[in-house]
Structure 1
């Protein structure tokens, strides 16, 4: 470091001279108000020669960088965590049953035991999802549901004249309440409707009936005597609702319509049966 301080005393007084050596800085005048301050700086290049690498550690004397070498030896398990490298103590123990392979070692990592996609469509657009629930259990997509509801009733009338309009017109309505039991998916609602209208047709009389603008039945009495309570039960199946939301309810209403009444034709009964199938997949 070199000479730092030299002092001489005489006559009860001391006089000191402070001289900086190598890598040493001296400041201050040596008085009580401004004492000497001696500081030293050690340069990195001066100490790099004292450092070296070791097993698994690399040291670059030119840059001063110290790095760890990653082992490729089978069985080693090294994890990179946010705060650095982590090497677990002891060998990993993994129980792999259905759906998993491997034992968790470096040479046999744990993997999902996947199958082969056997469909023409792409799994990226048509495949289902696998998720973790709040308890960390793997869950697949919800199961599909099919439900069924129906309502039937018979209404009697006091020989009401059939409308004479050339097209059938509404004379009564029948309803069915449906609720989608699926809490996850919308449901398609398929409706099967059956109606039966009883006509009284004097000689020469005629009448028609239908539903929702669709004439489905016409009868004319071409005989010489009256026909009492003639009827025919007809049915139709169609999609009533394309998408009834999860848990949502709706009321399906069908109008029974009569027309083309001639010769005093009248009706005395309408029988209705509405059946709905709700499908959510």
Structure 2
């Protein structure tokens, strides 16, 4: 294993200073379930690891029906889905966060780290996109916000610049008539990487779709936000759901690999979009 220095930063500014000084030779440790494996296997060789778990801002987990949800970048998955109020308000997040590795991994793995790893097949990212999440980023120039839908720029790449790191994620409070769902397809339980993942959310006004969001994972170099704007104002019925599924299939740009073919992935994009929207609508109506 490559030798490296380790610093447990105590403040946001300390972490920014350390990261800016070392540039590409520094890596952030939030949960560490990806980074530690990458360093051990020689896929990353940092000179400095900056642990951000001791920074108060990265450990915040707060929710209110008025202000919404804030998840610190170092908050492990189990704390989020273990909170009854959060689980009830953001069901699509629970669907996704409970799929990150096994139970032991979820005790350590952070949603922020999963986002920053920026895998096209990550389970958390489509769900965050469906919930209209924003990434709060600190850097030498101060703090900025980026929509999670715009955060990933390629496989393993994202918008973080020199000296920057993810501090937290924020999501608006769900309005009345909100429902969301995340599902993925894997060929067998032993292969814990999505062949396709889909996160959907809706806001209903009676039987009409007021807003709709659909995001796909593992069918492009980054998670994909499907353009469903034409479906707003349409009835929340099977015909509209089928139109969303068609839009998802058209938006998908998958490759063939050992986990699935282009044709299979495109078909599954439609299937999972249809199923997640059916569940999201049922949850919005208080039926699930």
The two structures have a TM-score, normalised by structure 2, of: 0.15
**Larger Rg, first or second structure (1 or 2):** 1
Compute the TM-score of the two structures, normalised by the length of structure 1.
Answer: 0.16
Higher fraction of helix = 2
More strand per residue: 1
Q: Which has the higher contact order (CA 8 A, sep 6+)?
A: 1
